[in-house]
Amino acid sequence: MLRSFTGVYDPAGPDAGQRARLAGALDGLGPVQSMTAGPLAVAWTGTAPTDSEDLWCLLDGQLYDLDELARAAGVPAEDSPERVLAAAYRRWGEGMLERLRGDFVIVIWNRERKQGLLALDHIGIRCLCLHATGGRLVFASEVREMVRALPSRPVPDHATVAYWLMASRVPPDRTLHKGVTRLPSGHVLRLADGRWDQRRYWEPRYRPRLDLGREAAVDAVRSAIVRAVDRRLQLGEPAGVTLSGGLDSSTVAGVATRCVDPAKRPVGAYSGTFPDHPWTDESDLILAGARAYGLPSTRVVVDGGSAVAGGLEYLRRWDVPPVSANVFWWSALGRRAAEDGVKVLLDGEDGDRLFGISFHYIADFVRRGRVRAAGRLVHRIGVLEGPKTGARVAKLLYHFGIKGALPPQLILAVRARRPPARHVPPWFTTESGHAYHATETPTSFMRRGVPRWWGSQVESLTRGAGTAILFDHTRRRAGLVGMEMRHPFADVDLVELVLGLPHELAYDPRFSRPLVRDAMRGIVPDELRLRRSKSFFDAPQRQALVEDLPLIDRLLSDREARIAAYVDTDVVRRDLLERAPGRHEQPDPSWNIYIWRLIMLECWLRSQEDGAFIDRLRESGELPSPRHRFAVTPDGPQAGTDPAGPGPDGVG
């Protein structure tokens, strides 16, 4: 379920002002309820949590396999998730967390013992923000609610801003607000005796690889994917799937329509198409998939519009800037799905990282002295784009093989002697470069006693871009239209299975993700299952930003530009604004990523000072109008049919 909540743990007892701020932080999000028990006070929207004489329990998110958990805890399977959770806590205490499966934040308070816990799911699908000061802990389900629950708005955190501008992996415990942290995935915060302490209740453990042959591994992966998808489809809960022409979304859609209870199957497929960008547009493949799965296909046909407009909508609701420029067309598609009655959308996010190769596998060969084998491995990697020239192979061998095999202490020592400017764009200020350089942890995946490929995969799947970027973005983007996203490939049991398989199964001279391709034989059409190319969505996002250029020029070139505290605006103008597509024959390949981050940061910084800034900009007339229409092929499309027309809002 979607829920918003705020809370405070104050050993002195929450006062009236604190409790009022907790409730006020949720204004506009629905009816607000509250509870105070000793040092704990919580306010929330949504259905009432489980409450009894001894336990108070709040759940934000979803628990899967509830019937199994209920049986083990000795309560009826038809009990509410919160009641099952409370029974599990009574039986196992904090140890219940290892048994849970789902995407969740949990708050539990024992009234009699005056102690409790806050816990986040294994992978970090949800968010739990924290702010500790003066012996008091404030917590909230989102950054926006946290900021509004505090007596004053926190200032920006310089180091996190630097990560944001680098489009780099934001550390999993940081936010853009100074002093506002977040509980990392797989962690629990224990509240007792006026104190709190944090510990990890789950993380993958390296063990000797599973003794499986290839066919047995394929069967195990297929079964685990089916279970992961089935868990995320609930009876009586209308669900859809996001469908592209790629392997990951096709896998989720294929399993959801062919391998689960027919009563739980999705009601439709939802896609974005871009006819002006043939290297991006996947219309034919989307229709082929929808036809194979018998799914009605709804596609938003994007002709143009303002990327900034979508970013402002997101920023206004969540008080954080979106990491991707795709909101401007995705919101229209999401609203259409919501009008169709869809409550949940399943996607194929994280499949690339879960089933893909880790280039640091090359380092494991080098560490064993098998340099020639490492070179051959580079040649075997089937996902490399472009010719495998000697220079390209040498570069990969050095970066992931030689450098990746070095002791972390040596890497950090060499890095410490180099100037920060070496690691950041030329438009960073000296202060931003130092802030980034001082907090980056490039060797965090290098763990004693485990292969480099395994540490790299764990870092990526449980502490990397997924937590800080992917899951936050998709959750909030769907929240704009009142829906929930679910990610089968972020299933903890599936993740543990894949991490336990021999990593050579992830390599093939022809295909990326060969293991999942074999597992989907007979489920995903070969046209999609054996597709070797991959579409990227940079082009339509770049086009939308070019349409926004007059506004971007004005805001970023303003003498009062707030980004001047973090970047050299003269260098930004020279290297990015003057080299924009259409203005320069050789724009920076990363132009759209950097410009998006800069303009969203500028809007966010101004909105921190002026709460009306976003509304004024949205009403200024400077934002290009959206240009999209909907193409709908009902009841399982037939080849060659693609009726299209204006959407319900009349936008053609």
**Is the domain of 478 the same as that of 561?**
no
Instruction: Please count the structural domains in the chain.
Output: 4
Taking each helix axis as running N to C, give the angle between helix 247-258 and helix 283-293, from 0 to 180 degrees, rounded to the nearest 10.
20
Residue 216 sits at φ, ψ, to 5 deg, of -65, -40
User: Which of 167, 200, 233 is a domain's end point?
Assistant: 200
* pLDDT tens-digit map of 267-314: 999 999 999 999 899 999 999 999 999 999 999 999 999 999 999 999
- CATH number of residue 89's parent domain: 3.60.20.10
Strand order in the sheet with 115-120: 50-51, 55-63, 102-110, 115-120, 187-192, 195-200
pLDDT of residue 319: 94
**Is the domain of 386 the same as that of 426?**
yes
- The answer as to whether 535 is a domain residue is no
**Is the domain of 27 the same as that of 131?**
yes
**Is the domain of 444 the same as that of 569?**
no
In 3D space, the residue among 477, 474, 448, 445 whose CA is nearest the CA of residue 461 turns out to be 445
- CATH number of residue 474's parent domain: 3.40.50.620
* pLDDT tens-digit map of 92-109: 999 999 999 999 999 999
pLDDT of residue 636: 62
Is there a contact between 63 and 6 (Cβ–Cβ < 8 Å)?
no
- The answer as to whether 640 is a domain residue is no
Helix (H) or strand (E) holding 470: none
**Is the domain of 347 the same as that of 365?**
no
Q: Specify the long-range contacts of residues 211-219, CB closer than 8 Å, at least 24 apart.
A: 212/501, 212/502, 214/505, 214/518, 217/501, 217/502, 217/505, 217/515, 218/515, 218/518, 218/519, 219/519
Averaged over successive runs of 10 residues, the pLDDT of the chain (652 residues) comes to 86 94 94 94 89 89 94 92 93 95 96 95 95 95 96 95 86 91 95 95 85 90 98 95 96 97 96 94 95 96 96 96 94 96 95 92 92 82 55 82 92 90 93 92 89 93 72 94 95 95 88 94 96 87 95 94 97 94 84 95 97 96 95 68 34 28
pLDDT of residue 466: 58
The residue segments making up the domain with residue 16 are 5-200
**Is the domain of 83 the same as that of 154?**
yes
pLDDT of residue 334: 97
**Is the domain of 224 the same as that of 339?**
yes
- The answer as to whether 209 is a domain residue is no
**Is the domain of 435 the same as that of 379?**
yes
- The answer as to whether 543 is a domain residue is no
Residues near 599 by beta carbon (within 8 Å), at least 6 away in sequence: 308, 311, 545, 548, 552, 555, 556
